Structure 1
């Protein structure tokens, strides 16, 4: 790792913000964000803007709470993310998310995947199994709502993305890390 001989792909993960369990909805798919979720999404967007992060591609679940998370992030970011919505991400397992990653064109260097737990958390843990950093240990405890993570993958092609690869977690930012009123975690 890190010899410079292998190209690096950057996988960014964003879990949807806190959803409301108070609104009676017929389908889980239609559950909206609550007030804290809206605030956390906007704050995460502001942080992404501060970090000057750019994404070559954004793929997201079409669930309402994801769409509302994206709206909040875009509001804080001050620009559109222009995601491609993929219904396979809705409640997907890590294995299904790896399938989606492997379909990503190699022209994409930096990907943002916006989805749900437990799939996102499982994907992060499987893609960084060899990472012994304090950041990874923190992620192993819990992947809260509206949390943003970055994984550096030493692969030249997304087609090589698989479980048990030597990915490095380089960012794990929870809303409460940016604003204490956005905790405690759910």
Structure 2
């Protein structure tokens, strides 16, 4: 497991919603959410806010599908958080994701909206293989949202929300 010092009090790891297949000649980066993805993003973000989960800062990949997913969270919170696009998330490794999260302290609650496999690897690195596997036994779904709290010594999985 990985330690982020000083830790935010809460980390949200949100995978973007389901994206449309790339059109002929279209770059992967430019893929947008399809209808299913929009629905997933809206539902997961509304569920999160209804449960009282509210990030202070949203770090989002600049890829359209992530920005659209992050926008759903921003709307669900009525704009009461900072939304910051970050280019490095698109092709970022788990180390990139962890460095971005570590660089946000002392923000109390930080959300990272990113891509698989890095989002799943980040979850596993923070909470350990067993806890991650228990939370998402079938793999990290599109629009899956892991909520992690720091107990003073380690990260623990608080909740996992999906459409």
TM bin (shorter chain): 0.7 to 0.9
Query: 1:152: how far off?
Result: 1.3
TM-score of the pair, normalised by structure 2: 0.84
- Structure 1 window deviating more from structure 2 (51-60 vs 111-120): it is 51-60
TM-score of the pair, normalised by structure 1: 0.75
Query: 1:90: how far off?
Result: 0.8
Helix, strand or coil for the counterpart of 1:141? coil
Instruction: Establish whether residue 68 from structure 1 lines up as the match of residue 65 from structure 2.
Output: no
Query: 1:21: how far off?
Result: 0.4
Q: Paired residue for 2:109?
A: 110
Structure 1 CA distance, aligned partners of 2:8 and 2:62? 28
Residue correspondence of structure 1 range 91-102 to structure 2 within 5 A: 91-102=91-102
Unaligned regions of 5+ residues in structure 2, if any?
A: 1-5
Instruction: Establish whether residue 129 from structure 1 lines up as the match of residue 136 from structure 2.
Output: no
Residue correspondence of structure 1 range 1-186 to structure 2 within 5 A: 9-21=9-21, 23-24=23-24, 26-75=26-75, 77=76, 79-80=78-79, 81-106=81-106, 108-129=107-128, 136-155=133-152, 166-175=154-163
Bigger CA radius of gyration: 1
Unaligned regions of 5+ residues in structure 1, if any?
A: 1-5, 156-164, 176-186
Structure 2 CA distance, aligned partners of 1:22 and 1:103? 33
Structure 2 CA distance, aligned partners of 1:52 and 1:25? 42
Helix, strand or coil for the counterpart of 1:83? strand
Q: 1:84 to 1:61 in 2, by over 3 A?
A: same
C-alpha distance after superposition, 1:57-101 (max 9, x if no partner): 1111110101111233444x1512541111111131111111111
- Structure 1 window deviating more from structure 2 (16-25 vs 88-97): it is 16-25
